[in-house]
Structures are given as structure tokens and as C-alpha cells.
């Protein structure tokens, strides 16, 4: 899938009203349309970047949702970004998942609003929110302050999410690298400042925005799978000997892991796993944990 991460370039722009931010995003997506993106991630409450909280009006919420639907249709891609939403008398900081047709097909509510948000009326989302089913597979999300409760993300990962959108005002920094590596998940981080980018499922930044580029893109294969070296690292050479350039294998010595990525549509990770009796990093940790618990009893 071809993913785009957008920065609001907050430190380089002067914003007076919501429409300034909507125009900015619309212009960026006009540029991005040239590369035919599959999935675009936008920052936390992107429409309100630089707007005082007291000027954020409920009547604008529907306008912003309709804007997202419209640009998804025009760009012919999926869009995921955060905005406020009024739901049964409560206001949530909500990530919307919008398909190529401009339909809202899923959402994620910020589980951990900041103290300031809580005081200003933002409600915390429910825990254990499931990832959203897309044409690429299951994709999850987390918003800004949520990054400090990484264990809440595990529910989305355990329920099949192989990519997480980090829609945020603050960059997150090395916290994101840690989440990506520990949970072996891709992260598309879209931030207010020039700190947006794309992280692979071993914690490595693939692309980052800078002062010359307010948005970046990359092609990623979310089926790329992470394996632990223990008891199976010796099978790597045999896999390469058989499948040659139909697969790509990378090793990470300090972390004792390796990744397998398949380039042939007639081959799958599951087939390779079965043929060479491999278990993934996640499966290995789960198996070890169960053995430890049994022994502890």
C-alpha cells in the first residue's frame, strides 16, 4: 500500500481560521494525488491547528467530516485523521477512517485525553477498541497522549492490526520507535509540527517530513513479518536458497530478530512458515509466556 503522512507544518504557517487549515490539506492532497496514494494520515484535530480552543465550535464538526469525505473521493484514497465529534451529548476526539468512496467505515476515540482536554469537556473513549477493516487489512489508531499508555494498543494488535495511525499534536519521538518494535507494527505518524513520517514494523523511520516537504510517502508491505532468531535463525539460508528474489530477508543482530517480506503474489508468509516450521516473534513470546506461567504455578 502507498501511504502518505501529512504534517501541518505548524512552525512555518500562520493560521487565522479553520478554513486556512482545510485549504492547506486540500492543496496537499492535490499534490499527493499525482502519486496515486492508497492511504493518507492526517494529524490530531488538524482543522484546529493554531486555533484557540474557545473558538472551536460544535457547528464546525459536521463541516470538517464532510470535508474529509469530499477529499477522500477526490483523491480516490483512504483517509484517517482526527477531529472532534459530537455523539449523544458528549464530545470525543475521534479518528475517522474514510474509504475511497468518501464513506466513514470506522472510528477510534482517544482513550486518554489530556487533563486540559478533560477540563474543556472532551470525553475519554472506551478501552478495547477494535481496529478497522480496510482493503489492505486491519488498521488501528491512537491519538497523541495515548502513546503513553502503549499497552492499550495491544488490544488492536491482538485483534489483527498490522498498521497504526498516530494522529497527534506532539511528535512522540522514541516512544513511537519503541511501540513499533515491541508490537511489530507499522506506524504512520502525522503531527502538527515537522515531525511526521512513516515507521516500519521494526521501529525504523522510513520517511520524515522536513522544511522542504510538508508531506512524505512510501510503499509499504504490511504483510512483512517479524520473527525471533531463537531456535530458527539457521533456516534463513535455506529459505533464500529456495525462494531467491521472491523474498527479502533482513536480520537485526542486537534485537535477535529477522523479517521476511514476500514479493511473489503466489507465495505467502503462511506458506513459508509452514514449510520451514517457523513461528513469528509474537507467537514465540506468547508460547514462552504460557510455559513460564505453567512453571510458575
Residue ranges of the domains in the chain? Answer: 2-219, 225-296
Q: Where are the alpha helices (DSSP H) in the chain?
A: 18-32, 61-75, 115-119, 154-158, 174-183, 236-243, 269-276, 281-296
**Helices vs strands, H then E, count in the chain:** 8, 16
- Gyration radius of the chain's alpha carbons: 20
Tell whether the torsion through CA atoms of 64, 65, 68 and 71 is positive or negative: negative
* d(C-alpha 166, C-alpha 52), whole Å: 23
**Domain 2-219 of CATH type 3.60.110.10:** yes
Q: What is the pLDDT along the chain (297 residues), one digit of tens a residue?
A: 999 999 999 999 999 999 999 999 999 999 999 999 999 999 999 999 998 876 677 889 999 999 999 999 999 999 999 999 999 999 999 999 999 999 999 999 999 999 999 999 999 999 999 999 999 999 999 999 999 999 999 999 999 999 999 999 999 999 999 999 999 999 999 999 999 999 999 999 999 999 999 999 999 999 999 999 999 999 999 999 999 999 999 999 999 999 999 999 999 999 999 999 999 999 999 999 999 999 999
- Check: CB of residue 82 under 8 Å from CB of residue 54: no
- DSSP 8-state class, residue 203: S
Among the residues of 50-168, which ranges form H helices?
Answer: 61-75, 115-119, 154-158
Q: Which three cell numbers stand for residue 178?
A: 519503541
Strand partners, 2: 219
Amino acid at each position: 500500500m502507498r501511504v502518505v503522512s501529512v504534517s501541518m507544518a505548524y512552525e512555518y504557517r500562520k493560521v487565522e481560521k479553520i478554513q486556512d487549515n482545510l485549504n492547506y490539506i486540500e492543496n496537499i492532497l492535490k499534490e499527493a494525488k499525482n502519486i496515486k496514494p492508497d492511504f493518507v494520515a492526517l494529524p490530531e484535530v488538524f482543522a484546529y491547528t493554531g486555533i484557540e480552543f474557545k473558538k472551536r465550535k460544535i457547528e464546525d464538526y459536521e463541516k470538517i467530516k464532510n470535508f474529509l469525505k469530499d477529499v477522500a473521493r477526490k483523491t480516490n484514497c483512504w483517509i484517517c485523521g482526527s477531529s472532534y465529534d459530537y455523539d449523544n451529548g458528549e464530545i470525543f476526539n475521534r479518528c475517522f477512517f474514510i474509504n475511497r468512496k468518501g464513506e466513514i467505515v470506522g472510528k477510534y476515540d482517544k482513550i486518554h485525553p489530556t487533563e486540559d482536554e478533560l477540563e474543556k469537556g472532551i470525553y475519554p473513549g472506551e478501552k478495547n477498541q477494535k481496529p478497522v477493516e480496510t482493503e489492505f487489512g486491519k488498521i488501528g489508531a491512537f491519538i497523541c497522549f495515548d502513546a503513553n499508555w502503549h499497552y492499550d494498543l495491544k488490544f488492536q494488535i491482538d485483534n489483527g492490526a498490522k498498521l497504526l495511525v498516530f494522529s497527534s499534536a506532539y511528535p512522540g519521538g522514541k516512544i513511537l520507535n519503541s511501540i513499533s518494535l515491541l508490537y511489530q507494527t507499522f506506524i504512520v505518524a502525522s503531527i502538527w509540527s515537522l515531525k511526521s513520517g512513516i515507521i516500519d514494523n521494526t521501529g525504523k523511520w522510513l520517511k520524515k517530513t522536513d522544511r522542504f516537504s510538508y508531506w512524505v510517502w512510501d510503499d509499504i508491505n504490511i504483510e512483512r513479518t517479524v520473527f525471533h532468531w531463537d531456535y530458527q535463525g539457521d533456516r534463513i539460508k535455506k529459505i533464500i536458497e529456495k525462494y531467491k528474489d521472491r523474498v527479502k530477508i533482513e536480520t537485526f543482530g542486537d534485537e535477535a530478530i529477522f523479517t521476511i517480506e514476500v514479493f511473489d503474489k503466489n507465495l505467502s508468509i503462511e506458506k513459508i512458515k509452514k514449510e520451514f516450521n517457523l513461528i513469528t516473534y509474537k507467537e514465540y513470546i506468547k508460547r514462552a509466556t504460557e510455559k513460564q506461567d505453567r512453571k510458575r504455578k
